[in-house]
Amino acid sequence: MVQGRVIYEVMEESQPRARDDASLPDILREYGEIWTSKPKVLVSRTRRSADHNTRIIGGDDAIEQLAALRAQTEGTISVGGAALATQLLRAGLLDELLLCTHPAILGFGRPLFDDYDVPIELELLEQRTFERGVTLHRYAIQDVREASSC
């Protein structure tokens, strides 16, 4: 798991408690256990420490460090955080996008891929619907096109 600081701080507040909270559904307790135990990389310029099996990388070469980690890793690396996902997409380091939609209009917030101006061809790999109208769309990243070709 690779996470930006904001999403990491949300998760570190909730997930360690979730795994032991009998009032939560099984799936939320299970995810709390997964989040707490799985190795994580926190990408942050400001954090100096983190618990729950977390390594911190930061600085101007964070994307290069993540590229090296990806090259050394067999398996799946998940990414959480809008700014971080945009930077990894721009660097060509994402193979798939898993986009979950929750049926709520917040009226504010950060765009998922802010400041990204290059069209990308996606191939739908999976589409699922969960309780309360939550949907998941899983896409393979097919082709990054030059912005001038649109």
pLDDT band (50, 70, 90) for residue 149: very low
**Confidence at residue 77, expressed as pLDDT on a 0 to 100 scale:** 86
Strands (E), 30-114: 40-43, 54-57, 79-80, 96-101
In angstroms, the CA 95 to CA 20 distance is 34
SS3 68: helix
**Tell me: the pLDDT tens digits for 57-112?**
998 999 999 999 999 988 888 898 888 888 898 888 999 999 989 898 888 877 77
Residue 92: partners with Cβ closer than 8 Å, 6 or more residues away: 144
| End-to-end CA separation in angstroms for the chain | 34
Q: What is the pTM assigned to this prediction?
A: 0.81
pLDDT band (50, 70, 90) for residue 2: very high
User: Quick one: 26 exposed, middle or buried, by C-beta within 10 A (0-12, 13-18, 19+)?
Assistant: exposed
**Confidence at residue 129, expressed as pLDDT on a 0 to 100 scale:** 95
Inter-residue contact 12 to 4 (CB < 8 Å): no
Whole-number Cα distances in Å, 96 to 19, 64, 77, 140: 28, 19, 10, 4
**Tell me: the pLDDT tens digits for 115-143?**
777 888 899 999 999 888 999 999 999 86
pLDDT band (50, 70, 90) for residue 14: very high
Q: Higher pLDDT residue, 107 or 53?
A: 53
**Confidence at residue 90, expressed as pLDDT on a 0 to 100 scale:** 87
